[in-house]
Amino acid sequence: MDSIPFLHANRMFTIVFLEDLAFSEVRAILDYLSDRNAFDPDVQEQKGFYVVEVEEFTFRVWVSEMDVIIERGSV
């Protein structure tokens, strides 16, 4: 597993992943999560993981504070 710091929308995230991801995929996933308030601690306690579809892929995504774990699957 690899991790990288990732600045998006003036917020710093740590992205954890197994497979390489395109920057556009990471940005789309972070936008999706932001739209659902996934970085709010109260929401994090209630949610297990998110399923996010970007282009031809689906991703399972876990959020812990500003850490985002992304696993790629196929649609």
Summarize pLDDT for 15-74 with one digit per residue, the tens: 999 999 999 999 999 999 999 999 988 776 667 799 999 988 999 999 998 999 999 986
pLDDT of 75 over the 60 cut: no
- For the entire predicted model, the pTM comes to 0.89
Where do the domains of the chain lie?
Answer: 14-74
* Summary count for the chain: helices (H), strands (E): 2, 5
